Amino acid sequence: KAVSGGQKSFKEIYIATRDGGSPCGACRQVLAEFCDDDLKIFLIKTVDKSIVETTLGKLLPKAFRVF
């Protein structure tokens, strides 16, 4: 939704789900098209408010890039 709204530069992404799940493969690939491997991604588990910090590069190693 952010990209379709004109936002194409990201410093961090926060994803909040009940179980702290991470983005699916398709979502990871879309992120890779707009962001570098060092993009910080915070996975928030809403049940207990725990947070896991990772990077796009860790979630999607060797991403396909069209630059």
H-helix or E-strand spanning residue 15: strand 12-17
Residue 33 has pLDDT above 90, yes or no: no
Give me the sheet containing 12-17, strands edge to edge.
12-17, 40-45, 50-55
Percent of the chain with pLDDT over 70: 97
Q: What token pair was written down for 66?
A: 């069209």
- Helix ranges (H only) for the chain are 25-34, 56-59
Q: What is the reported pTM?
A: 0.84
What CA–CA distance (Å, rounded) separates 19 from 44? 8
Q: Report the pLDDT value the prediction gives residue 67, as an integer from 0 to 100.
A: 58
User: Residue 47: pLDDT above 90?
Assistant: yes
User: Whole-angstrom Cα distance, residue 44 to residue 38?
Assistant: 19
